[in-house]
Structure formats: C-alpha cells, structure tokens
Chain A
C-alpha cells in the first residue's frame, strides 16, 4: 500500500539558525511513526511544514498521493493536526470549540453534531461539553485538543508532544486512545522527547537532533546500532564531573554524560565493567551511591549517536 505521507529534503532556516535540515521520512497507512528528539531539535518545525502551517525553504511533501504545495488546500483534509500548545478558545465551551474546528474541515449539520459528540466521548468529556474550556484541568484541555484534530476522521494524525504537562492518568488515556486509533487504521506521526512514549506507541522511530534525522528504524533496528552496549546509571554525592571524566577514560565506555545527581553512560558489556567503574569512582573522589544497568533502549541510542542525553 502506498504511503500516507512522504516527505523529502525538508529545510527551514530562522535567521542564522537552521532549524530543520534535510529531513525526510515515510509513513504507511496504519503505521505509527515516532519523531524523537530533545527540545529544540526541530520536531515542531518539521510538523508545521508537513501540515502546511509554515512555508518551507526546501523539500517536498506528498499526502495520500497528492503534493502539498499550496495549490490545493483540500490535500490537508487527510491530516489531523494536534499542536504542541493547546490551541482552543478558552472562553468557549468544549462543544463550541469542537464544532468550530469541525466546520473548518467542512463538517456541518447532523454529521457535525455526531462528530462533536464522538470527539467529546473520546476526550472523556461528554458530561463537560457545555462547560467553558478555561475551567478545564490541563489534562482535560489536552484531551480536547486531541479530539479537535480528529473530528474529520483524518487518515494521518499528527501529534506534537501531546502529553506535555499532563498527569500520568491523562497521559495513559491519551496513549491508549492513540493506540486504539492506530489499530483502527489511522496512520500516526507522534513527536516527543519522552523515549518511553515513543517506545510504547510507535512501529518506527526517527531520531532527530539539531534539525537532522540522524537515525531511523524500528526500535530493534535502532538498538542494534548501539550493539551490545548497556546503559549504566551511576549516582554519587561526590563530584559528578570528575566521575564522568574518570568513566570516559575506561575502555568500553562509549559515552558518559553528567545528569542530575550522577552520570549516565553507554558501555560495551556494562555488567563486566562494574568493578572497574567502582574503583574509577573511588579514584575520582566520587564514591557511588547506586548503580543501575539497563538493556539498551532509545535513550542509549540517542546518547550513543549524539553524546547527549535526551533530557536533563
């Protein structure tokens, strides 16, 4: 089956800053694609160009077989866009907000009413639909924000960090409903700087940093790039900088990064390295208070590829 979304060579510059630099990927129907990268990596800029919100400097976007080039705004009907910030009118009710966005997508009459009701249900807000949005909690707003992007039943749902600032319960609800949509055949483009969400939800992941797509594949494929490396977390009350420096000098450590309260590193056969790590810490005057060795995950892939932590 042909791709729902194909983009190639996307580029956008803000003054001196090359925010997006040659990003391209494909999403198949029913596939969930995760765009994972730290804050400022260029995720929102990429998405804005895909959704036709931002004029791009270069690159092509094809949505459901039709080019997105401004000549035919109807192309955008295939996309449901959920912005990173809550884009709702606070003084209008949940129902009114949904009805407004539904109208923008050409819904009207009974069909609009039906879709608004479905949207409220998906957001878990059926009995709050007549209340003003400025009285909603952060999580409620987030869920309504997502529902507003789904009213017209798009083939591709684009979510830009949809769980920022929500409580764990809402976050779970959001992830579950996105997973359910994907099961129903909707393609999903999901950006996040939370590795766990992307790992849980996405079939394929693109890792983006400083405007470039630096790796892409299934979780398995990406983790294999790191090889047999493990992710090791060390905590210390001592000098974390000195600890990181000491770790870096050890053979098999591919990267060591200071994080709050300790050091995070990727090491080949991390378990066999533990005695060496302990004595290195002692020599550095930063005795360890805990050691945690984990199987490699996307976090370690990112660390391996960029030498940076995804967060902190």
Chain B
C-alpha cells in the first residue's frame, strides 16, 4: 500500500515534468525540430567538417617501378592525403570508421599485371556515407598520367612489335590494358543520413536530458521541489519521480530521432534490440547527468543557458559531430572518458555493421557503469541540495 502511494507520487511528479514540457515552445522546438534540421543540413554525413584534404588509404602495388610511380603520383596529387596500409582488413576498418575517406586496393603484383597486358583493376573503397565530394576526381587525376603512358606503350608494342615492357620503359607513352578504378562501398550504402542520424541520436538524447535538468533547477528555485518534500512521501519517491521524468524525456527524444530519421531520411537502424539497449542505457546516463546538473546549478537562467552548449560540447568530444577516428589519440581518450564515445561506438557498430547485442556488449557494460555512477552521485547531490 505504502509502495503504491510512493509510485503514485513519483508518477505525478513525472507527469507534471512532461506537462511542463508541453507548455515550453522553445523546449519543444529543441526536441522536436532541431535534430531533423541538423540531419537535413549536415545530411551528407558526420564528415562534413573535413572539407580540406581527402584522406586516402593505399594498400598493395608491390615493389615494381610502376607501382612506385603510381604511389608517387598519388602522393603528389592535389587534395589527397595518402597513408600506406599493410593489410586489407585494417584499411577496410579505417574506411568504415571514417578514419580514411577512401581506400585504394592496388593489386599486389601491379607491375607484372600491367607488363603481361592484363587489365589491372584497382579497387576504391568508400565508407557507407559515400565518397566525399571531389575525391573521385582527385584520385582519377593521379591515375591519368600513368594510364596515358600505359596506353601509348600498348600501341607501340602492337604496331612496332617490340616488348611491351620495353616500350613502356623507353617511350614512356602507352596503354590499353589501362588502369580502371572501380568504386566499392564498404558496408551498406545509404542516403548518407546514417552517420549523421547516429551522431544526432546520441547528441540530442543528452542535450534534451540536460535541458530537462535545467527545469529541475527551476523547480528547486521555485521551491516546488521542497514543497514536494513536505508531502507525506519520501525523498526517494520525489527523486525517482524527477528522474523518471528526465528518463522519459531522453527516451522520447531517442525514439523521435530513430523513427524520424527512418521515415524522413530512410535510415536503416538495423538491429532494434541492440539499438534499444544502447539508447536505454545512454538515456539513463543522460538522466543521471540531468539530475546532477539540476543539483549543481542554483540559477535556472544560468542552467538553461548552459545546457545546450554543454550538450553540444560533450557531443563534439564524444564523436557525435565527427568520428573520433579523425581526432588525435588523446582526444579519442577524452571522448571515451564520457558516455558519448561509447554510445557512438555502439550505435555506429549497430548502424554501419549491423552489430548485435553481443557485439556491443563491452560498450553496453561501460554505459551501464556510467549510468549507475551518475545516478548514484546525482541522487545523493540532489537530496543534499533539497534538504540542506
């Protein structure tokens, strides 16, 4: 009986938080519209910030002179930032994670292939978000020179009847088998909204939580929170009600981004169970952070002004706006010192690779740890803030 009373009190508090949200136009705009505006604006992917050089990972080629020439041409090419890779798996992973914008897989025996007159096929790997604008042109240009010489050598070999390799070496003008570049996407290609939607999912769950936390500061400031404690209930029930309100808000924001991105931009979120686990645990992290936020600030205007930028800053650190693979290792560590880095790893794995629950178990465990720690500290701090 007493327990059902406490639950009724907690639910009344949760209900009133959500009702207040319904009256807050600016808050509603933040929650309902802004995530989609951002996906729309940055729809090309999470990478829109790196307009400078296109990062290309290169694998294979062997140690013949033509391979070396090709490597030199790529190195010298305008707008390309070339990194050598030793293993295909490593290159694929890098491209998928966005560390490289594209990958070039050159056949290991490039020189022999060309010399034998076989067509040498170079594979171009692209991330699910697709190739960055202009990258295909820059890569193609690097091949053009070699391609032209191969054509000429081929013509010479056939008309004059000399050895192809000799022709290539002596005339330095050639072709026919040529070098063709074929684009292959690593992972599933989609509209490009996927990475952006994943980042926004994590970003907005947290921003919304913090905004919810700033309303808590207002409740405290108004004295409504203390008034709640005057009611025949426990501080625990009051805290649970406030927490449940923030959790509902976070989950609601998550569902909105998930379904909204699926309907509006055709994002395929893949494994729903794994996604639900990540969103649920990350929302709990958001709830804990919101309660801590609500206990820390004393002025609602201040809290309200700090919440969105703080949420965005944490999102940046955690890889919501660009992948952590492109930041220095130290910043990658920082990104994983907050829940965002782990949530991003997990959501990206689910969306880009179709990872299931078991594949993201580590990330889920870390998120659960963050959630437990944040909620415990927050409950303690908030109780203190209310009854001190």
> A-side interface residues toward B, CB under 8 Å?
48, 51-55, 73-77, 79, 81, 83, 85-92, 96, 100-101, 103-106, 108, 132, 148
* Most B C-beta atoms less than 10 A away, residue of A53, A90, A92, A106: A53
Asked whether A92 lies within 8 Å of B20 as measured between CB atoms, the reply is yes
Asked whether A52 lies within 8 Å of B230 as measured between CB atoms, the reply is yes
- B108 at the A/B interface (Cβ < 8 Å)? no
8 cross-chain pairs, A with B, having the tightest CB-CB distances, nearest first:
A87-B223, A104-B231, A103-B12, A81-B230, A91-B23, A77-B232, A87-B227, A76-B232
CA A101 to CA B226, docked complex, whole Å: 12
A6 to chain B, nearest CB (A): 18
Known: A83-B223, A89-B222. 18 other contacts (CB 8 A): A51-B230, A75-B232, A76-B231, A77-B232, A85-B223, A87-B222, A87-B224, A88-B224, A89-B16, A91-B20, A91-B23, A100-B16, A101-B227, A101-B231, A103-B8, A104-B231, A104-B233, A105-B232
**Nearest CB to that of A108 among chain B residues?**
B8
CA A101 to CA B227, docked complex, whole Å: 9
- B310 at the A/B interface (Cβ < 8 Å)? no
Choose one: B12, B23, B24, B230; the contact of A53 (CB below 8 Å): B230
17 contacts between A and B (CB under 8 A): A51-B230, A52-B229, A54-B387, A55-B387, A76-B231, A81-B230, A86-B223, A87-B222, A87-B223, A89-B219, A91-B20, A91-B23, A92-B19, A100-B15, A100-B16, A105-B231, A105-B232
**Nearest CB to that of A81 among chain B residues?**
B230
B27 to chain A, nearest CB (A): 10
B224 to chain A, nearest CB (A): 5
* Most A C-beta atoms less than 10 A away, residue of B16, B226, B227: B227
Choose one: B19, B229, B230; the contact of A96 (CB below 8 Å): B19
CA A53 to CA B230, docked complex, whole Å: 6
CA A273 to CA B224, docked complex, whole Å: 53
Instruction: Render B1-27 as a binary contact track against A, CB cut-off 8 A, 1 for contact.
Output: 010010011001101100110011000
CA A76 to CA B229, docked complex, whole Å: 9
Interface residues of B in 209-251 (CB under 8 A from A): 219, 222-224, 226-234
Asked whether A81 lies within 8 Å of B233 as measured between CB atoms, the reply is no
**Nearest CB to that of A77 among chain B residues?**
B232
* Most A C-beta atoms less than 10 A away, residue of B13, B20, B223: B223
B contact residues around A96 at 8 Å (CB): 16, 19
A contact residues around B234 at 8 Å (CB): 73
> B-side interface residues toward A, CB under 8 Å?
2, 5, 8-9, 12-13, 15-16, 19-20, 23-24, 219, 222-224, 226-234, 386-388
A152 to chain B, nearest CB (A): 9
CA A103 to CA B19, docked complex, whole Å: 15
B contact residues around A74 at 8 Å (CB): 2, 232
A contact residues around B8 at 8 Å (CB): 103, 106, 108
CA A52 to CA B232, docked complex, whole Å: 10
B285 to chain A, nearest CB (A): 27
B344 to chain A, nearest CB (A): 34
A contact residues around B19 at 8 Å (CB): 92, 96
The DSSP consensus for interface residues of chain B is helix
A71 to chain B, nearest CB (A): 10
CA A81 to CA B225, docked complex, whole Å: 13
CA A55 to CA B16, docked complex, whole Å: 26
Asked whether B223 lies within 8 Å of A91 as measured between CB atoms, the reply is no
Asked whether A85 lies within 8 Å of B222 as measured between CB atoms, the reply is yes
B contact residues around A55 at 8 Å (CB): 387-388
Using known A-B contacts A53-B387, A55-B387, A76-B232, determine if residue A104 contacts B224 with beta carbons closer than 8 Å: no
CA A106 to CA B12, docked complex, whole Å: 10
Using known A-B contacts A53-B387, A92-B20, A100-B16, determine if residue A106 contacts B230 with beta carbons closer than 8 Å: no
Asked whether A81 lies within 8 Å of B227 as measured between CB atoms, the reply is yes
B contact residues around A88 at 8 Å (CB): 222, 224
CA A76 to CA B8, docked complex, whole Å: 17
CA A250 to CA B57, docked complex, whole Å: 100
Asked whether B230 lies within 8 Å of A92 as measured between CB atoms, the reply is no
B contact residues around A76 at 8 Å (CB): 230-233
B47 to chain A, nearest CB (A): 40
A contact residues around B15 at 8 Å (CB): 100
B264 to chain A, nearest CB (A): 30
**Nearest CB to that of A78 among chain B residues?**
B232
CA A48 to CA B223, docked complex, whole Å: 12
A149 to chain B, nearest CB (A): 8
CA A264 to CA B8, docked complex, whole Å: 55
**Nearest CB to that of B5 among chain A residues?**
A106
Asked whether A73 lies within 8 Å of B232 as measured between CB atoms, the reply is yes
CA A96 to CA B223, docked complex, whole Å: 17
A92 to chain B, nearest CB (A): 6
CA A55 to CA B13, docked complex, whole Å: 22
B contact residues around A73 at 8 Å (CB): 232-234
